[in-house]
Structure 1
């Protein structure tokens, strides 16, 4: 069954690639309209999942991801329409070269092929991922967690009905419903081109260890905010609180706040901790801060809470902060708060993470907020895509050559010129 679904997705992706770009655009607009039109049905199915979850041993962070909050369907539709309005990314000419007289070569963007996305809880991920796959001409297999089974089946049905009305094959987007099929899918390295896991560290690690298919994603979301000695106190409070409280279960929520030691003596660290606690955050102390600030100790220097808890640590300089982030972070998203522009730029250059911010909440690390329309996930990999992965991260390239009977013949009779031609 798994191999049949993968083969169908491959065939459908080749059909989608060959169609005019306007068909994919029409399909996206059809999805956006269908989500809005079926909002009440989708929310009813989501409510079934939430009710069923009460009898499951599910962490609070997972429950937060499971719920489709007010306005979420409208936000998803907005992102999909934004994606539809953008330039078609498939077949975009990237380079043209005159190889020899009458022999031209061009490099164009192309879909990866077939994607397998395995995700936990978040039913809102399904339409985002499906839309990005359609825009990039890829076939898609989706496997959601059992806790979101009602929501996922409903949303998948809405999407495949919508793309079929627009002229795309239904098999382009497949939904895997059996947990047993995951192991079989992970063996299909000749049919599936990329696996993107979205979920716990345990899920990502398991997939990485059990497939030959390339895996794109991140295992941990251990994000930091460093508060410099020249930080604006008003910005410190608002950025730190937003980075933790806006959506504590998200992978881009801050898990550790580093204060320059001068912020302790000035009282800024204490005030910020008080502001966090007033917002419902439980504050723990790192090795240094536990003693200096009288805080209960954090579980470790690399702990991802995923809830309204945050670690605070004290450092003596920006250099120490950067070293701490590199030693204990997950290369996801890290931020500096400072009014010293030079220090801010230095931090942006030196911190080796997928997303690095100056005076901005870590919660901005998101495909929709970046203007990508949506995202299939956030990658901390250093190969191919990094950070929020939108359409461009789902594309590769192909080379197209046009000649008039040219042959190599040991390069005896060909005069190579390799001239760059205008796009």
Structure 2
């Protein structure tokens, strides 16, 4: 009751009695349900009156610390950044028992609340930690000349030389679900590339994330850059983080397609690296090998169906229907208990349809597969461009000319010939690790590793050069001569 003045007076009166107060109404644009429920859940709704200083830094302060720490990190010698990553790899194995104990708490709290695939992603093990440590050491080895590498040198004029060199992007915000092993991976890539890092993990992995972040900061502290990697522990809404365009240079979501879409929608002026869908296709050509086709389909669909690089749509050349090759694929899918959804053309060839597809643009993320019939490689490419997500697409054929036509004409981040869709992965590409897979057409595309976290700047070294010296009546002329670039250190 009463106006705002009376509400503020009531809040101040309560504050004098030692009680914090929130003034809010139910018409706030951020309110998704009942305003009281949203306030209790920690959403930033209304005005908060309190004499209690929040524990720990605000997310804005963490952003500033990541920026400052990242700039110092970028000035370290490559060997020093590599040393930090090696130390983190050692800590993952040395502190294994503490990490697994924290992870056990997360698993116990998540039991009955998370689906089996998410529980699997949440779980850590000795073998996972050992694999993580190996991956981190690979990152350290490959990072020696990542920052400050000269890409181009040009002599503009006498004693005026231009260089284009690699530099960190700045501050990265990585938002990830369920997978605590993502934290040291992304942390190592940020360290190797000299970027500051803000991490926002899911609450289901809170205990695991906390200890992994502490170990990351312990490794960073050996060269005085502990603050370069920050874990956001407050009840900060992802939507609020995505508005920090003055502090964050790139957002990288790691999680479900829904998470990626939500972040792409919420980001205000900050680029988002990632893909919202992984609708991967495989086209089995009329000249495909029987054994190769069945093996490739099985690996692409059944090896890890929840992965973003798993097969979702199988395109079969019309001439293969009712052949041993087709029968072998169908028998294999039946044995693997894959539910088949028939596309319109495939359904028309059947006396009965197993289950007509509801949409030809579906990411199942499970043991389900759409099968459709096409008349040619050109029709297969057209189908992929219409219903795919530009992630990973494959042709299976023994005809090199047809394969090359497919490779050149399919407009996706990853296009393969006689290889499983599951190879679309940073580790398998030899990148050491990846921060994600991007279907963007600007900057990084495909599996994004260390190189994708770098941008460039131009360095111009002169001796009192001014533009007027190059005018029609000036004393200097542009040379624009290409100069040799220092060779990369491949040791």
- The superposition leaves residues 392-413 of structure 1 with CA deviations (integer Å, 9 ceiling, x where unpaired) of 1111111111112222236333
Distance in structure 1 (CA, Å) of the matches to 2:326 and 2:96: 44
Aligned partner of 1:10 in structure 2 is 67
| Bigger RCO of structures 1 and 2 (CA < 8 A, at least 6 apart) | 1
1:313 to 2:390 alignment: no
1:413 to 2:472 alignment: no
User: How far did 1:261 drift?
Assistant: 1.4
Distance in structure 1 (CA, Å) of the matches to 2:337 and 2:102: 31
User: How far did 1:49 drift?
Assistant: 2.3
Distance in structure 1 (CA, Å) of the matches to 2:281 and 2:362: 11
**Which of 390, 395, 401 is the equivalent residue of 1:331?**
390
Q: How many equivalent pairs are there? A: 421
Q: Any residues of structure 2 matched to 1:67-78 within 5 Å, and which?
A: 67-68=123-124, 71-78=127-134
The 3 A distance-change label for structure 1 pair 48 and 280 is farther
Aligned partner of 1:22 in structure 2 is 79
Aligned partner of 1:144 in structure 2 is 201
Q: Any residues of structure 2 matched to 1:219-234 within 5 Å, and which?
A: 219-234=276-291
Aligned partner of 2:8 in structure 1 is none
Distance in structure 1 (CA, Å) of the matches to 2:397 and 2:371: 17
Where structure 1 has 5 or more consecutive residues not aligned to the other structure, the ranges are: none
Distance in structure 2 (CA, Å) of the matches to 1:245 and 1:44: 32
**Which of 433, 443, 448 is the equivalent residue of 1:384?**
443
Distance in structure 1 (CA, Å) of the matches to 2:120 and 2:346: 30
**Alpha carbons 1:225, 1:335 under 8 Å: kept:** yes
Aligned partner of 1:47 in structure 2 is 104
1:267 to 2:324 alignment: yes
Aligned partner of 2:38 in structure 1 is none
Distance in structure 1 (CA, Å) of the matches to 2:80 and 2:207: 29
**Which of 231, 249, 270 is the equivalent residue of 1:213?**
270
Which runs of 4 or more aligned residues in structure 1 lie more than 6 Å from their structure 2 counterparts after TM superposition? Answer: none
1:252 to 2:309 alignment: yes
TM-score, L = length of structure 2: 0.82
1:289 to 2:346 alignment: yes
**Alpha carbons 1:130, 1:140 under 8 Å: kept:** yes
Distance in structure 1 (CA, Å) of the matches to 2:443 and 2:177: 24
User: How far did 1:277 drift?
Assistant: 2.3
Aligned partner of 2:170 in structure 1 is 113
Aligned partner of 1:372 in structure 2 is 431
- Which structure's CA Rg is the greater one? 2
1:34 to 2:91 alignment: yes
**Alpha carbons 1:338, 1:359 under 8 Å: kept:** yes
- The superposition leaves residues 144-172 of structure 1 with CA deviations (integer Å, 9 ceiling, x where unpaired) of 1122222222221222212223x141111
Distance in structure 1 (CA, Å) of the matches to 2:349 and 2:110: 41
User: How far did 1:386 drift?
Assistant: 0.2
- The superposition leaves residues 20-66 of structure 1 with CA deviations (integer Å, 9 ceiling, x where unpaired) of 1111010111111111222333233223322222232x344433332
Distance in structure 1 (CA, Å) of the matches to 2:245 and 2:475: 42
- The superposition leaves residues 247-306 of structure 1 with CA deviations (integer Å, 9 ceiling, x where unpaired) of 111100111111111221213223212112212322222222234353222332111111
Distance in structure 2 (CA, Å) of the matches to 1:335 and 1:14: 41
Q: Does 59-68 or 98-107 show the bigger shift?
A: 59-68
